[in-house]
Amino acid sequence: MTGRKEITGPLPPGATIGILGGGQLGRMLAMAAARLGLKTHIYSDEAAPCAFQVADARTQGAYDDVRALEKFAAACDVVTFEFENVPDATAEYLAAHVAIAPPPRALSVSQDRVIEKSFIAKLGIAVAPFENVESADDARKAFANIGAKGAILKTRRLGYDGKGQIKVTSADDAARAFETLAAPSILEGFVDFAFEVSAVAARARDGGFALFDIPRNAHENHILKRSTVPAGITQAMTEDAKRIARSIAEALEYVGVLAVEMFATHDHKLIVNEIAPRVHNSGHWTIEACIVSQFEQHIRAVAGWTLGDGSRHSDAVMENIIGPEHDEWAALAAKPAGLHLYGKGEARAGRKMGHITSLSPKS
């Protein structure tokens, strides 16, 4: 394969969007693309991920399988991804052969928590106090510097839904936690916050920017359980969330949908927790409550289309269906709500199996 396929204008219906990752986000991206007459090709290292069920084409291969990646790139007009732990080498290899969005830099920044926090802080955006930790002694020193209110030690890379992190309340705790994690880590000081929110936004190839309404998020066992819009925040906080999301997107020269998870403090300030360079669980409510969902907005952006109208026409509450809750599918289907079941196999504890969104008149 020679040269690199570029996007010189909006991709027409019938073009193929490649998606790295075969989970539920890839599934919903493929469904949104189909609505616009665009085809999708899913690449996954799993044998039978749920996104394969709804895609036009499927490739099962390792993320370091150069031959499979080359064939995948040749079959696609543009490539995107549905999870942020795509290996750097994979993203860079594909970027040399086909247009990719968001850019690989968005992956490299978000994959390492120290790099991510440093990047955000350099933009003048508030983050929790943090220090890099590469030894048990580093952990003790970091706790002495920022752990007065307690702290959390997290691995710098990987980890999600509470995995790869340990709450610590003393310097000795921090040292023991580092020995348990046994990986380069970051110590983050506790933030005294009232609740959590997220900014789910889209940036187009021409720099156009759109922000969905801000949801308030509630977690159970470190997993997002519920997102509610409106979030009940001030207009000033909404404007601040937009500024934060736009600053991050522009600094990354981002194309597509990204989410910025934030703590809302008791004095109505926002502190960024982390960014997700992809469509996000807290934006699932947009499927029912907006004319254009986060998934369609992402497809529009990566395909070079104009961003759509993401304004909210209804209030919404989205709840994740986790693990054995999936067994109650018949009762869930009887509710006057938008039910989404992801077509996964075993309903393991903590596994996201679907979601359901209830609407009410916009307040």
Please tell me what DSSP assigns to residue 5.
B
The domain locations on the chain are 16-100, 129-189, 193-361
* Residue whose C-alpha is closest to residue 337's, from 353, 311, 360: 360
Contact call for residues 218 and 234 (beta carbons, < 8 A): no
Q: Are 16 and 32 in contact (CB under 8 A)?
A: no
Each residue of 56-66: pLDDT tens digit? 999 999 999 99
Looking at domain 16-100, which of 3.40.1280.10, 3.40.50.20, 3.20.20.370, 2.40.370.10 is its CATH number?
3.40.50.20
User: What is the per-residue pLDDT across 85-117, written as a single tens digit (0 to 9) for each?
Assistant: 888 899 999 999 999 999 999 999 999 999 999
Q: How far is CA 250 from CA 192, 242, 253, in A?
A: 29, 12, 5
How far apart CA 180 and CA 14 sit, in angstroms, is: 50
User: What pairing do the DSSP bridges indicate for beta strands 57-60 and 39-44?
Assistant: parallel
Radius of gyration of the chain (CA): 20
The CA angle 102-26-7, to the nearest 5 degrees, is 40
What ranges in the chain are assigned the alpha helix state H? Answer: 24-35, 66-75, 88-95, 104-110, 113-122, 136-146, 171-181, 235-251, 286-289, 294-302, 329-333
Residues in the chain, total: 363
Q: Tokens 């039978």: give the residue.
A: 48
| Architecture of the domain defined by 193-361 | 2-Layer Sandwich (3.30)
What CATH fold (topology level) applies to the domain 129-189? Dna Ligase; domain 1 (3.30.1490)
Alpha-carbon span 236 to 353, nearest angstrom: 36
- Of 315, 322, 312, whose CA–CA distance to 228 is shortest? 315
The tokens for 74 are 């040749």
Q: pLDDT tens digit string along 175-184?
A: 999 999 999 9
DSSP for 133-162, written as a single string: E-SHHHHHHHHHHH-TT-EEEEESS---TT
Q: What pLDDT sits at residue 300?
A: 98
pLDDT of 306 reads 97
Please compute, for residue 26, the number of CA atoms within 13 A of its CA located in the half-sphere on the CB side. Answer: 32
Q: What are the DSSP calls for 64-113, one per residue?
A: T-HHHHHHHHHH-SEEEESSTT--HHHHHHHHTTB-BSS-HHHHHHHTSH
Helix (H, G, I), strand (E, B) or coil at 222: coil
Number of Cα atoms under 13 Å in the Cβ half of residue 290 = 24
Average pLDDT taken over every residue of the chain: 95
- Confidence bin at 1 (pLDDT 50/70/90): very low
What distance in Å separates the CA atoms of residue 217 and residue 229, rounded to the nearest whole number?
9
Residue 353 has pLDDT above 50, yes or no: yes
Tens-digit pLDDT profile for residues 117-167: 999 999 999 999 999 999 999 999 999 999 778 899 999 987 665 567 899
Confidence (pLDDT) at 161 = 55
Q: Which is higher by pLDDT, 158 or 356?
A: 356
